[in-house]
Amino acid sequence: MSEAANDSTSETQMKSYFENYILVDVGANLTNRKFNRDLESVVARAKDSGVQKIIVSSTSIKGSREALRLSRIYPGTLYATAGVHPHEAKSWSDESLAELRDIASNIECVAIGECGLDYNKNFSPPEIQRLVFKQQVELACELRKPLCIHERDAHEDMLAILEEHKDSLPPLVLSSYSGSCAQAQKYLQMGMYLGLTGYISKDNSENGVQALLEGGDLSLDRLLIQTDSPFMYPNARASKLPERVKEALTERSLSFLQRYCTFQRNEPCSLPTIVEMIAAFLRRTPEDIALTTSFNALKVFGLS
């Protein structure tokens, strides 16, 4: 086959990947002040890159209201979650649960969260974190909406709380997974979905996220993808990223990453790069990862 024919085939494959699949970013912090001035352009760039649907993560009552507002400005593209992050658990009041229920009851709100436990930073006392997380787990069970979970250095306590509600739990999504292979297996055994981000370009430890992908123990039917914008920039030049993964990244996905995203502000348009990284680790095609993760997201969150 001629070089021109090879180029044509490659271009056709990229168009299929970017244009024929609905990529879903299941976690972007678009209420972050870094997006205040140009959110419309950020959403437009996401669509141009192939990201057709974005779930706007919430970390506070105020943020949950703002996520709901954005979902009404961009119907069918942005969807809201409603939750209080463990970092913000200290702000929980007697009125918080009722306020959260009111926000979460709207059709544009597709999940409870991001909530959970974070003993690494302990911005809120652990006992307060557990109390606030339990109430949000119960709310998710009541409303039958998926639960988006944040966990860091709190694996055992997280499992214990979820075990208390095991008979009534909705779908569980562990956002921005950064734990070990062993911890991932316990979460997967509970039926959780793991949300992977650009963090995969950083963690090449013996028992880290790259090892989880390389080991082939993460079933595609439990995989979701997210940018966690404006955080978790997928560094295509990272020294911890295997060369074969770097070589698998396409010019088109890198063009969005390099033109619009930085370490200081990641955007949803970086999602195709994350797709290609995961595909290279799993030795699958980007089309496989795009199709499967989108199907998973549409099913879990009830998107249409």
Q: Which residues are annotated as a binding site?
A: 114, 150, 228
Give the separation between CA 250 and CA 290, rounded to whole angstroms: 14
User: Alpha-carbon torsion 54, 283, 221, 208, what sign?
Assistant: negative
List Cα–Cα distances, 22 to 19, 74, 79, 133, in angstroms.
8, 16, 15, 32
Query: What element of type H or E holds 292?
Result: helix 286-301
Residue 21, φ and ψ in degrees, nearest 5? -115, 150
Q: Which residue numbers belong to the known binding site for a divalent metal cation? A: 114, 150, 228
Q: Are strands 78-82 and 193-196 parallel, antiparallel or unpaired?
A: unpaired
Would you give the distance in Å from CA 78 to the centre of its chain? Answer: 14
